[in-house]
Structure 1
């Protein structure tokens, strides 16, 4: 099993490629949770995520023959970029298989870091199967995204950094996909300070670790469904699972809506851009997914910041909807002059800001002397939305809330 000495041995090779990322106290999230919250900004890492650490350590350990043959891997994006950059720095050719659904920004970045990219399959597991085919055909060394002790040890260097920078840590919160990050971090943290609590966080749509722990054996989901593509893995690794079972205190889950809300709060209040997987750890803290005492020192690891811009737009909108700051509603007006003005007067009185408005007389579901109106509105919270809807209904409008 992976041990603290393995992680310590990884510090030197990792430091040749990766940077030591900031660890900063968040006054905003400390006030919101009454805990002493410090954020570990792995989204500021080279390639935009922690994955460069494990990739650098694994590639550094290649034999001369393996270096000559090159490496191959599979990844939804972050591990791909880590392997691409680490291999390029080491003068090793890299082939990366990515799911066809991988964000285009991550595909482009992986190619820019010097790897050959092949798109295959609907998710990580199908991409991995294709990568193993290439491994057999070409003789390249397969660099696993998480189920490799050298990779796990490289990721664990985060834990050493945490304990050096903040020895008083009570709880570390770690996003979990296949388990490479949390295995390494738990090994490092528990090896230095056994009383530190390690909490893993998965998305509810990809919760194989939590399920495996409940059943006491490895399980695999038939499919994954989450906006957090960095942790969208069907099953935990054979090497990572025993470490998680022995050294991780608790694994909890968060919904996509909770992840989206944390991402929006990090943008707005923390001035920090993270991807869905990177926001999962903070989402668990903000939603009380695990117990936290007042003034407990908690470190959520923001594992990455490589978010696709199209997804980011959707996530921000979802976050605003959940906070009651954006609504879309529909109503029907009498098709007469001034009817729309009357509606807009109410919106003005209630100080709702109009993003968009659509006025449709041709909808067959309304009367010939009526018009359907859809409105996208900026609002100030759930209470404001309720007050606005009440005012409209009191005025006789039948209102449907669309989002």
Structure 2
């Protein structure tokens, strides 16, 4: 079975506010850090949203917990397909609520992330070489076991849960500066945009080799892109994320793999912050010049995940 959601699968600020109430006391309100970072033409003032400090090292635990709290009446087990962080988040959320969790991962799933799933008590099954193959098997498995099936990013409750990041930023940051967030399947950027609406500009940043949002906006529909380099797992933007991006004018900026690597290394060298490539992608836009702040502007940069092997820095 699948979680309940409103007809049309649309997400609004009211859904995000309901998620914040549902998640109260269950997640961390992650801090912000006002600082400057090296840019192509000198120091750039930024506000870093330290979401990598979230339980499980990923923003995705917000969405997983929200979906389970909203839909888990009578459910004892969940099944999810994931290349990494969504599986970690689902495993953690299930453990918190006394449910069993099975994560289907592609054979390429990083051992660091699989180990984190195990640490929260999840059963991990390897199937196929891509997320799509793992997803199809997870759907079959959920039907066979009569389990609750979660989607890694294209589920209203998951998007609404991620959007609580946006409500926190309203309380933590003065003014209404632009918010830069990494794009994979789109739940983070979509959730933040649903929370903020047209009050603030929300910008998606994605690797140029996996431009899920950029490709969808160009084609006016979700399309598959070939995964390579620092792929964030998803190779197709979610339907919900694309609808929200259209509704609120969310745009996409592309950054190179080298820029992502440089931003990640910079965070460690200058601040001793350890994040995965996805966690540094939004910052890469500022440091590479893909995003140039207006005069007097201090953009918010969301550092969204820390599930990585520090030895890879």
Indicate conservation of the 8 Å contact 2:254/2:290, yes or no.
yes
Where does 1:87-126 land on structure 2 (aligned, <5 Å)? 87-126=94-133
Alignment match, 2:45: 36
Could you tell me whether the CA contact under 8 Å between 1:179 and 1:244 is conserved in 2? no
> Does the residue aligned with 1:6 lie in a helix, a strand or coil?
helix
> Who is 1:379 aligned against?
none
Q: Deviations over 1:185-214 (max 9, x none)?
A: 011122xxx241111011112112101101
Residue 178 of structure 1 is matched in structure 2 by 185
Matched, 1:235 2:239: no
1:340-359 deviations in Å (ceiling 9; x for gaps):
xxxxxxxxxxxxxxxxxxxx
CA contact (8 A) 1:34 1:294 kept: no
Query: Contact 1:254 / 1:283 at 8 angstroms: preserved in 2?
Result: yes
Q: How does 1:241-390 map to 2 (within 5 A)?
A: 241-309=242-310, 312=312, 316=313
Residues 219 and 51 (structure 1 numbering): CA distance in 2 closer, same or farther, change over 3 Å? same
Counterpart position of 1:390: none
What is the Cα deviation at residue 226 of structure 1?
A: 2.1
| Counterpart-to-counterpart distance in 1, 2:251 and 2:14 | 24
8 A Cα contact 2:72 2:148, kept in partner: no
Paired residue secondary structure (1:234): coil
1:299 CA displacement: 0.6
Q: Does structure 1 residue 84 correspond to structure 2 residue 79? A: no
Deviation at 1:86, TM superposition (A): 0.7
Could you list the runs of 5+ residues in structure 1 that have no partner in the other structure? 317-403
Higher relative contact order (CA 8 A, sep 6+): 2
- Give deviations 1:266-324, integer Å, cap 9, x for gaps: 000122111000100000111121342122120110010111346x2xxx4xxxxxxxx
Q: For the pair shown, which has the larger CA radius of gyration, 1 or 2?
A: 1
TM-score, L = length of structure 2: 0.92
Partner of 2:171: 164
Asked whether 1:224 is paired with 2:231, we answer: no
State how many pairs are aligned. 304
Segments of structure 2 that go 5 or more residues without pairing to the other structure are 1-9
Name the CA distance, whole Å, in 2 between partners of 1:157 and 1:31.
32
Single out whichever of 89-98 and 240-249 deviates more from structure 2.
240-249
